[in-house]
Structure 1
Amino acid sequence: MPQHDRTRRKKALRWTAWGALGLVLAGAGGTAYAWQHLNGNIKGTDVDAVLGEDRPGAQHDGAMNILLLGSDSRAGTNGEYGRGVAGARADTAMVLHVDKTHKKASVVSIPRDTMVERPRCATEGGSTTPAAHEAMFNSSYEAGGPACTVKTVEKMSGIRMDHYLEVDFKGFQKLVDELGGVDITTRKAIDDPSSGLDLSAGHHTLKGKQALQLVRTRHGVADGSDLGRIQLQQAFIKALIHRANTVDPLSHPAKAYDLADTATKTISADSGLASTDKLLGLGKDLKGISPEHTDMVTLPVTFDAQDSGRVLPLDKESRKVWSALRHDRPIPESATKGSVADRTDSPVSANS
């Protein structure tokens, strides 16, 4: 890959570090006074109570690990985005590691089609879902909600997740509409009957429905695997942040409040993060980390020889990734060499 392509791609990946959190904080800006009235919108789950003591030990050096989720709930209104599929899926998953100085961060995207050892999980109804050998990663959400996804990531990585933050599809669409859409450029036409997205090559302003179709598209790009969708999501998040930064909460307080109201209705979090004060505090922490000090990778994987639509973690390389986070060190470049996730470029870019 030419050097300028690698540089462009790395820059786009860095922007994605704030992806899920960007959806939460978009447009909130200086509206802290309004957020104080919006605590009731935020849904919280006591992950610690559900998971108990069978977890990796917490880091006590100031470093922090957060699981960012984009959930594909198939219930109610969201059902139109996944007809015929019951339950919910963790459609997007990223582990955000903030280093002990809170000046640097690393982000690891986990492809939804990764085959993993899913642990036994408790359900909200009080029953238990048995462990599964070679289960798709995104099935963990259906098996036991966000707590099961947290447990699955902890089993994969050996790292305790201090928090989780989740964005749902319905709120995502409304938030984009309230922002007035986001601007992207497609380098080639995209046509995916599965997601409903049909875009010509060129510049586009995507409103909520098309934006949602874009981040769910996979069959119309690259090799049709989830790796191509991750590229689209990364480019879209950059565009979303560009748009959110144009909102001046002091000049347009009503619009800023509406955005904050939608954002807080869009998310769920663990009980330790499910308040406006905690979210704003986290946002301030992350705003102190520049893109230049953010490293983002996709979990090193290879295609499953038994099913080309699935991927398997590269054991040696994945251990390097998780070890770096566990020891609060940068992810070495050697960890992603040989991964099929490193072989594709996004067909979409954000308009600056």
Structure 2
Amino acid sequence: MGKSSVRGEGARQRAPHASDLGLEEGPRDEGGKPPSDGGKQRHRGGNGGTRAPRPRRRILRWSATILSVLILGTAGVGYLWYQHLNNNLETDELNIGEDRAPEPTPNAAGQTPLNILLIGSDARDSKENQKLGGAKETFGGTPLADVQMLLHLSADRTNMSVISMPRDTLLDIPKCTDPDDGKVYEASTQRTMTNQTLGRGGPGCTVATWEKLTNIHINHFMEVDFAGVVDMADAIGGVPVCVDANIHSRDSQGHGSGLKLEKGTTSIKGEQALQWLRTRYGFDDGSDISRAKAQHMYMNSLVRELRENAGLSSPNKLRKLAETATGALKVDEGLGSVKKLYDLSNELKKVSPERTTMTTMPYEYVGARVIPKPGDAEQLFRLVRDDIPLDGKGKKKPAQEKVSDDPAADDAEIAVRVQNGTRSDTEPPVSGRASTITGLLAGKGFAKATADSTTVLAREKTVVMFPSAELEGDAQRVAKSLGMKLSSVKKSTDVSGVTLVVGADWREGDTYPKQKQDDKTPDSADALNGSDKKACMHVNPRFTWE
């Protein structure tokens, strides 16, 4: 069985960090845009402090994660040094928040989707890392979850979707409890950068934050702090990538990864692969969004190469890769053995590149940072939640709503608190909306419905919340009486009883509006199909060469 995670003294010796190689990129501002001040200051973690300049260490740890899983499956390492490799794995709790997103209802064949959160940490926890890259003031500091990608494998295993979240996305982070020392991190009182979740008790808090935002049930996480990406890229003989002009990622102030490629397609491996995966300066507008696009492109090529490459037949190479992969992963207990990782790899390999879709969470800027784009972000989350392919292929399967096992009380006995959540980023709240809907409920027989006129919230969608299992049936009964889908009923410790929050989707009228089911992936998700061999990164003219 894999070792438990211990943050602090007594932690096991880890595999070398990818940034131990000394291949780093210059500073950036907090929103992922090119820094206007040369990266002079940076807000670190949740302690409110500002620290001196240091090189940023950004390597695409998610690609290493996928590669690790696929390599494990290819090698069949479940039968090679089984216990040794199991002991390489480090485990931690899956979710350390208070609420869980509901588990999906199985399809007609009894199958359910599989959702895995891939997390890349920027931990500075090795002397080698400090020696090669400097940044003495951040050695041993609070790690940040600077890469976050949700991998969704469909229930029937025919397609796969991936959602990347920009690291400086501002979110409401839930209350989390560190499983090692019991320290409680209270819920954020204002929107906080999502990359700070890792420092609030571990990867389980990052999982809890994703579930709170998306209402998608996450089955597993994989956290990577990874040096072996060089060896892996070398082992498969390189990964083809494309640029539409000569590129050199280096400016006069020393910012950039150092990547230097000629126009067209080049097979990259080793140091060049690392440079590609962390390059911002030189791609498009130099933002983290552009880097994510390049990462998607690399991952798609990587998967194709793994499927087609015969060079992975050498047992010695595979043993080395298996050793590196298991030493670099931290996983939840549900993936805490080589056998479980091997089984997962077999599931992932069922999906062809043609049915794999890479996306970025739709966003909009708030100053230098970003927030989920109203409408489009929820649309993308809903498609994944409802197991609808992002590539638009395949027939949509009617969603089955899960009815609570707890029977509802009589309507007249159900206490319902009604709140006004009609405020949005673009419109003010509708005055008296809570009272109007309270009257509507009273007319339907809910005699104990009361309006909360003191609270005005901002909710994109109308929702019925309940705090504990014994009130789920009551909450579903309220939703059904208003013509709402049961998917609008959510468990939340933010409420003490059945609570209806009237959202911005119901600003007027006495009848809950029918929700249009547009099952198209939003254009703002910047989808990339896994079989697209013609994709090419646009080079910023300031970073080209003759």
TM-score norm. by structure 2 comes to: 0.54
Distance 1:190-1:175 versus aligned 2 partners, 3 A rule: same
Letter in 1 for 2:522: T
- Whether contact under 8 Å (1:73, 1:169) holds in the other structure is no
Residues 1:131 and 2:181 are matched in the alignment: no
Letter in 2 for 1:303: Y
**Which residue number corresponds to residue 113 of structure 2?**
63
Q: Which moved more, 1:72-81 or 1:114-123?
A: 72-81
What CA distance in whole angstroms lies between the structure 2 residues aligned with 1:70 and 1:25?
18
Letter in 1 for 2:183: S
What CA distance in whole angstroms lies between the structure 2 residues aligned with 1:231 and 1:78?
27
Distance 1:292-1:237 versus aligned 2 partners, 3 A rule: closer
**Which residue number corresponds to residue 335 of structure 2?**
273
Query: Alignment partner for residue 336 of structure 1, among 516, 522, 525?
Result: 522
**Which residue number corresponds to residue 212 of structure 1?**
274
Per-residue deviation, 1:262: 0.9
- Whether contact under 8 Å (2:242, 2:537) holds in the other structure is no
**Which residue number corresponds to residue 10 of structure 1?**
none
**Which residue number corresponds to residue 67 of structure 2?**
22
Per-residue deviation, 1:323: 1.4
Q: Which moved more, 1:293-302 or 1:168-177?
A: 168-177
Per-residue deviation, 1:70: 2.3
Residues 1:31 and 2:76 are matched in the alignment: yes
Instruction: Figure out how many residues of one structure are paired with residues of the other and give that number.
Output: 325
**Which residue number corresponds to residue 415 of structure 2?**
none
**Which residue number corresponds to residue 121 of structure 1?**
176
Q: Which moved more, 1:182-191 or 1:264-273?
A: 182-191
What CA distance in whole angstroms lies between the structure 2 residues aligned with 1:82 and 1:100?
46
Per-residue deviation, 1:261: 1.0
What CA distance in whole angstroms lies between the structure 1 residues aligned with 2:201 and 2:256?
26
**Which residue number corresponds to residue 47 of structure 1?**
94
Per-residue deviation, 1:27: 6.8
What CA distance in whole angstroms lies between the structure 2 residues aligned with 1:39 and 1:185?
38
Query: Which has a greater percent of helix?
Result: 1
What CA distance in whole angstroms lies between the structure 2 residues aligned with 1:163 and 1:44?
11
- Whether contact under 8 Å (1:102, 1:289) holds in the other structure is yes
The Cα offsets for residues 7-57 of structure 1, whole Å up to 9 and x where unpaired, read as xxxxxxxxxx98732233337514332263411111111225x34x52112
TM-score norm. by structure 1 comes to: 0.81
Query: Alignment partner for residue 212 of structure 2, among 121, 142, 155?
Result: 155
SS at match of 2:371: strand
- Whether contact under 8 Å (1:27, 1:244) holds in the other structure is no
Per-residue deviation, 1:243: 5.0
Distance 1:340-1:57 versus aligned 2 partners, 3 A rule: closer
Residues 1:346 and 2:396 are matched in the alignment: no
The 5 Å alignment of 1:139-218 reads 139-177=196-234, 179=236, 181-188=238-245, 189-192=247-250, 193-202=254-263, 204=266, 206-218=268-280
- Whether contact under 8 Å (2:69, 2:342) holds in the other structure is no
SS at match of 1:236: helix
Shift >6 Å, 4+ stretches: 342-345
Q: Which moved more, 1:166-175 or 1:254-263?
A: 166-175
Q: Which moved more, 1:148-157 or 1:186-195?
A: 186-195
Q: Which moved more, 1:200-209 or 1:90-99?
A: 200-209
Query: Alignment partner for residue 365 of structure 2, among 303, 308, 311?
Result: 303
The Cα offsets for residues 324-349 of structure 1, whole Å up to 9 and x where unpaired, read as 22222234675423x3857996348x
What CA distance in whole angstroms lies between the structure 1 residues aligned with 2:284 and 2:273?
18
**Which residue number corresponds to residue 326 of structure 1?**
385
Q: Which moved more, 1:223-232 or 1:241-250?
A: 241-250
Distance 1:212-1:232 versus aligned 2 partners, 3 A rule: same
**Which residue number corresponds to residue 474 of structure 2?**
none
Per-residue deviation, 1:143: 2.8
Whose radius of gyration is greater, 1 or 2? Answer: 2
**Which residue number corresponds to residue 14 of structure 1?**
none
What CA distance in whole angstroms lies between the structure 2 residues aligned with 1:292 and 1:19?
21
**Which residue number corresponds to residue 299 of structure 2?**
237
Letter in 2 for 1:156: L
Distance 1:329-1:341 versus aligned 2 partners, 3 A rule: closer
**Which residue number corresponds to residue 372 of structure 2?**
313
What CA distance in whole angstroms lies between the structure 2 residues aligned with 1:263 and 1:19?
8
Structure 1: 5+ residue stretches without partners? 1-16
The Cα offsets for residues 100-132 of structure 1, whole Å up to 9 and x where unpaired, read as 212222221111122211222223432123333
Q: Which moved more, 1:325-334 or 1:150-159?
A: 325-334
Q: Which moved more, 1:231-240 or 1:110-119?
A: 231-240
Query: Which has a greater percent of strand?
Result: 1
What CA distance in whole angstroms lies between the structure 2 residues aligned with 1:223 and 1:54?
38
- Whether contact under 8 Å (1:159, 1:322) holds in the other structure is yes
Q: Which moved more, 1:201-210 or 1:184-193?
A: 201-210
Per-residue deviation, 1:269: 0.9
Distance 1:340-1:88 versus aligned 2 partners, 3 A rule: same
Structure 2: 5+ residue stretches without partners? 1-61, 107-111, 391-517, 529-534, 540-546
Letter in 2 for 1:264: T
Per-residue deviation, 1:212: 2.4
**Which residue number corresponds to residue 12 of structure 1?**
none
**Which residue number corresponds to residue 149 of structure 2?**
94
Identity %: 33
Letter in 2 for 1:236: Y
What CA distance in whole angstroms lies between the structure 2 residues aligned with 1:300 and 1:92?
16
Q: Which moved more, 1:69-78 or 1:173-182?
A: 173-182
